[in-house]
Amino acid sequence: MKKYLNNLITCVICFIFIVILNFALPRLMSGDPVAYLTGVDEESMSVVQYEYYRNALHLNDNIFVQFGYYIKSLFDGSLGYSYRMEATVSSLILSRIGATLQISLVAVVVSCGIALVWGLSAGSKKGTFDKISTTANVIINTLPSFTVGMLLIILFCFGVKIFPYSGLNSPNIEKGTAEYFFDRIYHLILPVTTLTVTFLPSRYLIVRNTARAVLNEKYLLFARQRGLGRRKIKYGYILGNVAQPFIAMVGMSVGASIGGSVVVENLFSIQGMGTLLTDAVYALDYPLMQGVLFVTAFIAVISIIITDVICILTDPKLRRARL
């Protein structure tokens, strides 16, 4: 229990550190912070605009007052203002986060499901299936998501031509219709498959290896001696041992999976958080970068906390200790 409390405290400290770093970075870099914080090329800024931005960004105030304004923007939910995009950071993120979650969360769920079933099957019985599965996953693990996505595009979009390669929808389909819904699913198949294939090996390997580690435990021997079926042993006995590290790993990787969608979004020309971050980096739009980093860190911290809670609930020893 203490371990989980320590995890929680570590998460909160990391989060505070990220918030401070977010605020400090554009102000510590060489060059004019007006350029960094607006993302507007100084050459194209008029005198009037420059003064406007300086005042709007409170750069004439001392650093503590500036930090106060930054914290206020986090609490009021605006997360700052992107002068380059001419919108609050939160509105930009909200307009994009749906697309990212549709890809990354689905990919997390699908890859976890496949990894769990596949990993348990491979790990619970030594043999050819395990060898082939594990070798295949080790090989897939070496492929970057860009390569996986490109291979899928070449095969399914330009080869057999059954899937689209860009966007989240076809241009002429009315929102809110059944056709729109199916069109969205149709457009999501390849991006989700790309991320799923990318996420799968690490999840598979942790399940398989954990399952393999407990395979010779006495309680499994007794279970087999009692004549219990393989299915019961896999999901009733081995799964319980696999669950803890697996849940912890999934929780840790939710934040990373949102970051991981950067490549897939760029590849499939999807306007999600990943492309928003890429645009912000190229345009040096620091408020936007800060906002995306803040939201990603926030999601990562929340998912780790939820993971810890689930771990407590699923671990009989911890559950009893709590009671």
Residues that bind another protein (CB under 8 A): 29-32, 35-36, 42-43, 46-51, 85-86, 92, 99, 150, 153-154, 158, 161-173, 179, 182-183, 186, 265-271, 275, 279, 282, 284
Q: How far is the CB of 80 from another protein (least distance, A)?
A: 16
The pairing of beta strand 81-82 with beta strand 87-88: antiparallel
The helix/strand/coil state of 160 is: coil
DSSP 174: -
We find the least distance from the C-beta atom of residue 269 to another protein, in angstroms, to be 4
**What are φ and ψ of residue 164, in 5° steps?**
-75, 155
Q: How far is the CB of 185 from another protein (least distance, A)?
A: 8
Distance CA 103, CA 111 (A): 12
Q: How far apart are CA 24 and CA 265, in angstroms?
A: 29
Find, among 99, 100, 74, the residue nearest to 88 by Cα: 74
**What minimum distance in Å lies between the beta carbon of 85 and another protein?**
6
Q: How far is the CB of 166 from another protein (least distance, A)?
A: 6
Lookup: tokens for 156: 């399914």
Q: Which is nearer to another protein, 127 or 171 (CB)?
A: 171
Minimum distance of another protein from residue 287's CB (angstroms): 14
Q: Give the phi and the psi of residue 62 in degrees, each rounded to 5.
A: -75, 165
Q: Encoding tokens for residue 271?
A: 């306007």
Nearer to another protein, 99 or 211 (CB): 99
Beta carbon nearer to another protein, 82 or 137: 82
Residue 75 vs 158, nearer CB to another protein:
158
* Choice between 19 and 45, CB closer to another protein: 45
d(CA 22, CA 111): 32
Cβ proximity to another protein, 67 vs 156, nearer residue: 156
* Nearest distance from C-beta of residue 268 to another protein, angstroms: 7
**String of DSSP letters for 29-81:** SSS-HHHHHH---GGG--HHHHHHHHHHTTTTS-HHHHHHHHHHHHHTT---E
Residue 139 or 151 having the CB closest to another protein? 151
